[in-house]
C-alpha cells in the first residue's frame, strides 16, 4: 500500500514533527477568520473534496441506510412514519431533515450563516450541511427511543433470589424485584447458594436462548447446571420463566462475582431481515461472597472483563496531587461511528475573533464540514470533552409527549442545541470550568451528554446533561459542581479525590434522569389506545449501561495507580490501551493542557491512537 501522510498543509503551529506512518493518516489544522459566513465559505472551499466524501461515505452509504432499519420499530408506534412519504428508503433522510430544521430554530444566526458558507464553498446543499451538523444528537436521540421500543418487546429480569441464603431467623430470604444497579445486589453471600431468576416477556421466554455466565464460566443453553420452567403471570398467561443456576462447585470465598444474563422471547422477528430471535438486553448482576468484608453499596457492579465488549468513550481530568507537575490535564478517547469515513475527515479548527468581537479564540477537534467537535479549548485556559449518554429525557421525547394523544399525526422533532455548538458557545465566552457549567443550563439540549471541563486554575467540573432546561449551581465538597436542572440533577462528581474526575457514558449523579411526570403523562395519554410504553431511567434502557460501568471502574483503577505521576505521555499511553479503544469506531483521542494552551491529538486512523500524536498550540498566531 502506498504510504501517504497529510503533513498538516494548512497548519502553521505544529509542535511535533511529521513522521512517516505505515498507512495513510488524514488530518489537518485549519485557521478560520472573518464574519461567520466568510469562515464557513473558507472552510467549505479549502476542504471541499473531504467534506463531500465525508457526507457521501458516512451519511449516504452508512448512516442513512442503517437508520432506515429503525423504521419498523418507530412506525409501529408513530403511524405517520408508515406513510408513503417515508417509503422507498426516504425515512432516514426525511426524519433527520425534519429534526435538523427544528434544531435550526434554536441556533443563533452566526452558526446558520457559517453553515451556509460551508454549503456554498463545498457544493453541498444547505440542507445536507444542516443534517451533517445536527445528526449526532438527533440520531442518538432517535436511537434511544428506537432501542427502548425494541427492548420493551424483549425479555426482562423480573426478580432474583439466592436459594440457601438465610436471614438471621434461619428462614430463606425472599425474592427481590430486579432493577439494574450501580453496585452489588447482595454482599457476604454463602459460597454454596443457587441463583434463581424470574424472566418475563409478553410472548414468553425461549428456554433455548437462556445463556448465563458466572464470571468467566459460561453456561450455554441446555447446560445441566441451569434449569428452566415456564411460569404463569398474575393473569394466568405463561409469560414468565424461572431460571435456576446451581454452580457445579462452590463459589470462591471473599470475592466479587458477576452473573451475566441473556435471553430471547419465543418470537422470531423478520423485520428487518434476516429473521432473528428477539433478545432482551444483556444484564449484569454482581454479588460478593462471605469474607469479602464490604456492604453491597460499597461493591461496584463492574461486571466481567472478558474482552467481549467494545469500550465506550472515556474521559478524565487531573490536577494537583494527581499530576507530576501539579498542572491540570484533560484527556478523552472518543468513539461513536467511523464507517470507514470519519477518520479521513479529521480536522482541528481554530477560530480567531475579529477585532472588536466579544469572543475568545477557540479550537475544537472535528471533521470536515462540521462547525463543532466533541472536545476543544480556548485561549483563556478552558478545556472540555463530551461523551454521549443514553437517556430518554431528550428533546425528541419532550416534543413527542404532548402529541401522544394523536399517534396518527405525531412527529419526531428535536428542539434544542447540538452539544458541539453548545460547547462552542462555552468556548467563545467562558473563562473557566465553573463559568462553563453555568452557561450550559441556559440552553435546551437535544440529547444526553457527559461533559468534562478543566481550566488553567485547576477547576474540574462534570456536567451530566439531559433535555431539562433550567438549572442552578450547587457545589459539592470535592470542588465539583452539581447542576440541578428543573426535574433532575444533571451534573456531578465522579471522582475518588478532589484532584481527579472521570466520565464514561452513564450518569453518576443524574440517576433519575427521567422526570417522574413523563411516564405518568405517557401512560395516561396512551391508555385509551391500548398501547404500552415504558419511560424509564437510563440504567433501565441504555444498551451502554453495563459496558460503561466496566470502563468507568477500570479507568478509576488506572487513575489511582498512576496518582502523582500523570503527565501528557502517560495519558496518551493509557488512551491507547485496549481497555479504552474501540477498534472499529474510535474517532479521535486528545490530551489537553489548559494552562499551556496545548492540544495534543491522535486521529486520522482507526483506531485513532494508532496514529502519531500531534501537538497544536492554540495561542500561536495564524499563518
183-217 pLDDT tens trace: 999 999 999 999 999 999 989 999 999 999 999 99
Q: Are 473 and 489 in contact (CB under 8 A)?
A: no
104 or 469: which leads in pLDDT: 104
Is 97's pLDDT higher than 80? yes
Handedness of CA 462, 466, 471, 476 (dihedral sign): negative
Residue 522: pLDDT band by 50, 70, 90 thresholds? low
Task: Report percent pLDDT > 70 for the chain.
Answer: 88
Place of cell 454479588: 287
Is 50's pLDDT higher than 70? yes
When pLDDT is averaged across residues 481-508 and rounded to a whole number, the result is 60
75-94 pLDDT tens trace: 887 889 999 999 999 999 99
366 or 512: which leads in pLDDT: 366
Spell out the domain ranges in the chain: 28-152, 183-298
CA end-to-end span of the chain: 33
Is 488's pLDDT higher than 50? no
Q: What is the pLDDT of residue 514?
A: 76
The CATH fold assigned to 183-298 is Immunoglobulin-like (2.60.40)
Provide DSSP, 44-57.
HHHTHHHHHHHIII
- What CA–CA distance (Å, rounded) separates 419 from 450? 10
Q: Are 79 and 408 in contact (CB under 8 A)?
A: yes
Order of strands, edge to edge, in the sheet holding 28-32? 28-32, 346-351, 362-367, 375-378, 382-388, 449-455, 460-465
Q: Are 542 and 388 in contact (CB under 8 A)?
A: no
Other Cβ atoms closer than 10 A to 7 = 15
Q: What is the pLDDT of residue 308?
A: 85
Residue 278: pLDDT band by 50, 70, 90 thresholds? confident
Is 11's pLDDT higher than 60? no
Order of strands, edge to edge, in the sheet holding 240-245? 176-177, 156-163, 194-200, 240-245, 226-231
Q: What is the pLDDT of residue 249?
A: 97
User: What is residue 383's DSSP assignment?
Assistant: E
Q: What is the pLDDT of residue 171?
A: 97
Q: What is the pLDDT of residue 248?
A: 97
Place of cell 405518568: 520
Q: Are both 28-152 and 183-298 of the same fold? A: no
pTM of the model: 0.90
Give the chain's count of helices (H) and strands (E). 14, 28
CA 492-375-539 angle, 5° bins: 40
Is 252's pLDDT higher than 80? yes
When pLDDT is averaged across residues 122-133 and rounded to a whole number, the result is 98
Cα dihedral: 71, 73, 77, 78 (round 10): -10
CATH class assigned to 28-152: mainly alpha
Q: What is the pLDDT of residue 118?
A: 99
User: Which of these ranges, 319-328, 329-338, 487-496, has the smallest mean pLDDT?
Assistant: 487-496
Provide DSSP, 523-542.
HHHHGGGT-------HHHH-
150-163 pLDDT tens trace: 777 789 999 999 99
Is 250's pLDDT higher than 80? yes
322 or 355: which leads in pLDDT: 322
Q: Are 250 and 192 in contact (CB under 8 A)?
A: yes
Task: Name the helix (H) or strand (E) containing 289.
Answer: strand 283-289
Residue 401: pLDDT band by 50, 70, 90 thresholds? confident
Q: What is the pLDDT of residue 402?
A: 78
Alpha helices in 236-289 (DSSP H): none
443-467 pLDDT tens trace: 889 999 999 999 999 999 889 888 8
Is 293's pLDDT higher than 70? yes
296 or 478: which leads in pLDDT: 296
Is 519's pLDDT higher than 80? no
Residue 344: pLDDT band by 50, 70, 90 thresholds? very high
- What CA–CA distance (Å, rounded) separates 623 from 621? 7
35 or 537: which leads in pLDDT: 35
Q: Are 616 and 348 in contact (CB under 8 A)?
A: yes
Other Cβ atoms closer than 10 A to 591 = 27
Can you list the positions of beta strands (E) in 171-255?
176-177, 186-189, 194-200, 211-214, 217-219, 226-231, 240-245
Strand partners, 500: 318
User: Which of these ranges, 461-465, 475-479, 592-596, has the smallest mean pLDDT?
Assistant: 475-479
Q: What is the pLDDT of residue 258?
A: 98
Q: What is the pLDDT of residue 533?
A: 58
186: CB partners within 8 A, 6+ apart: 162, 165, 287, 288, 296
Q: What is the pLDDT of residue 623?
A: 77
258-284 residues labelled b (16+ CB within 10 A) or e (exposed): bbbbbbbbbbebeeeeeeeebbbbbbb
Which SS3 state, helix, strand or coil, does residue 300 take? strand
User: Which of these ranges, 62-71, 123-132, 266-275, 496-505, has the smallest mean pLDDT?
Assistant: 266-275
Is 478's pLDDT higher than 80? no
- What CA–CA distance (Å, rounded) separates 420 from 54? 18
546-584 pLDDT tens trace: 999 999 999 999 999 999 999 999 999 999 999 999 999
Q: What is the pLDDT of residue 496?
A: 64
Amino acid at each position: 500500500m502506498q504510504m501517504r501522510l497529510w503533513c498538516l498543509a494548512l497548519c502553521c503551529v505544529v509542535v511535533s514533527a511529521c513522521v512517516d506512518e505505515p498507512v495513510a493518516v488524514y488530518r489537518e489544522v485549519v485557521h478560520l477568520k472573518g464574519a461567520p459566513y466568510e469562515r464557513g465559505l473558507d472552510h467549505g472551499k479549502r476542504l471541499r473534496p473531504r467534506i463531500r466524501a465525508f457526507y457521501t461515505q458516512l451519511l449516504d452509504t452508512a448512516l442513512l441506510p442503517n437508520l432506515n432499519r429503525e423504521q419498523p420499530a418507530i412506525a409501529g408506534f408513530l403511524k405517520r412514519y408508515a406513510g408513503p412519504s417515508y417509503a422507498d428508503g426516504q425515512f432516514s433522510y426525511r426524519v433527520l431533515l425534519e429534526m435538523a430544521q427544528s434544531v435550526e430554530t434554536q441556533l443563533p444566526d452566526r452558526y446558520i450563516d457559517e453553515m451556509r458558507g460551508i454549503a456554498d464553498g463545498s457544493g453541498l446543499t444547505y440542507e445536507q450541511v444542516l443534517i451533517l451538523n445536527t445528526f449526532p444528537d438527533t440520531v442518538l436521540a432517535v436511537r434511544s427511543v428506537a432501542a427502548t421500543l425494541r427492548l420493551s418487546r424483549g425479555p426482562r429480569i423480573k426478580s432474583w433470589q439466592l436459594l440457601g441464603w438465610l436471614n438471621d431467623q434461619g428462614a430463606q430470604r425472599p425474592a427481590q424485584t430486579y432493577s439494574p444497579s450501580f453496585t452489588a445486589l447482595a454482599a457476604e453471600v454463602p459460597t454454596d447458594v443457587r441463583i434463581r431468576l424470574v424472566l418475563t416477556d409478553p410472548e414468553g421466554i425461549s428456554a433455548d436462548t437462556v445463556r448465563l455466565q458466572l464470571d468467566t464460566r459460561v453456561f450455554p443453553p441446555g447446560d445441566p447446571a441451569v434449569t428452566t420452567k415456564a411460569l404463569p403471570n398474575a393473569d394466568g398467561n405463561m409469560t414468565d420463566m424461572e431460571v435456576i443456576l446451581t454452580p457445579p462447585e462452590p463459589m470462591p470465598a471473599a470475592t466479587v462475582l458477576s452473573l451475566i444474563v441473556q435471553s430471547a422471547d419465543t418470537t422470531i422477528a423478520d423485520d428487518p431481515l434476516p429473521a432473528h430471535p428477539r433478545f432482551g438486553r444483556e444484564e449484569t448482576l454482581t454479588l460478593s461472597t462471605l469474607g469479602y468484608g464490604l456492604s453491597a453499596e460499597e461493591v461496584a457492579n463492574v461486571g466481567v472483563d472478558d474482552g467481549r465488549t467494545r469500550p465506550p468513550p472515556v474521559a478524565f481530568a487531573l490536577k494537583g496531587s494527581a499530576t507530576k507537575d501539579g498542572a491540570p490535564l484533560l484527556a478523552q478517547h472518543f468513539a461513536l461511528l467511523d464507517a470507514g469515513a470519519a477518520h479521513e475527515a479529521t480536522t482541528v479548527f481554530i477560530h480567531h475573533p475579529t477585532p472588536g468581537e466579544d469572543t475568545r479564540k477557540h479550537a475544537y477537534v472535528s471533521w470536515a464540514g462540521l462547525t463543532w467537535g466533541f472536545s476543544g479549548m480556548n485561549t483563556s485556559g478552558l478545556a472540555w470533552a463530551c461523551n454521549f449518554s443514553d437517556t430518554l429525557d431528550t428533546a425528541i421525547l419532550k416534543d413527542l409527549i404532548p402529541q401522544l394523544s394523536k399517534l396518527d399525526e405525531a412527529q419526531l422533532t428535536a428542539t434544542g442545541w447540538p452539544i458541539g455548538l453548545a460547547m462552542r458557545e462555552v468556548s467563545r465566552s467562558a473563562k473557566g470550568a465553573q463559568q462553563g457549567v453555568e452557561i450550559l443550563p441556559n440552553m435546551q439540549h437535544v440529547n444526553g451528554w457527559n461533559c468534562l471541563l478543566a481550566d488553567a486554575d485547576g477547576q474540574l467540573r462534570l456536567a451530566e446533561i439531559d433535555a431539562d432546561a433550567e438549572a442552578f449551581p450547587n457545589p459539592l465538597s470535592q470542588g465539583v459542581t452539581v447542576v440541578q436542572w428543573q426535574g433532575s440533577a444533571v451534573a456531578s462528581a465522579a471522582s475518588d479525590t478532589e484532584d481527579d474526575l472521570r466520565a464514561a457514558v452513564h450518569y453518576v449523579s443524574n440517576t433519575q434522569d427521567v422526570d417522574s411526570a413523563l411516564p405518568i403523562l405517557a401512560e395516561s395519554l396512551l391508555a385509551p389506545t391500548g398501547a404500552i410504553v415504558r419511560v424509564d431511567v437510563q440504567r433501565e434502557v441504555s444498551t451502554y449501561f453495563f459496558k460503561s460501568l466496566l470502563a468507568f471502574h477500570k479507568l478509576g483503577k488506572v487513575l489511582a495507580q498512576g496518582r502523582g505521576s500523570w503527565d501528557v505521555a502517560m495519558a496518551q499511553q493509557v488512551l491507547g490501551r485496549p481497555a479504552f479503544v474501540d477498534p472499529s469506531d474510535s474517532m479521535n483521542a486528545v490530551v489537553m493542557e489548559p494552562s499551556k494552551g496545548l492540544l495534543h491529538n491522535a486521529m486520522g486512523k482507526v483506531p485513532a491512537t494508532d496514529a502519531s500524536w500531534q501537538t497544536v498550540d492554540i495561542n500561536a498566531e495564524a499563518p
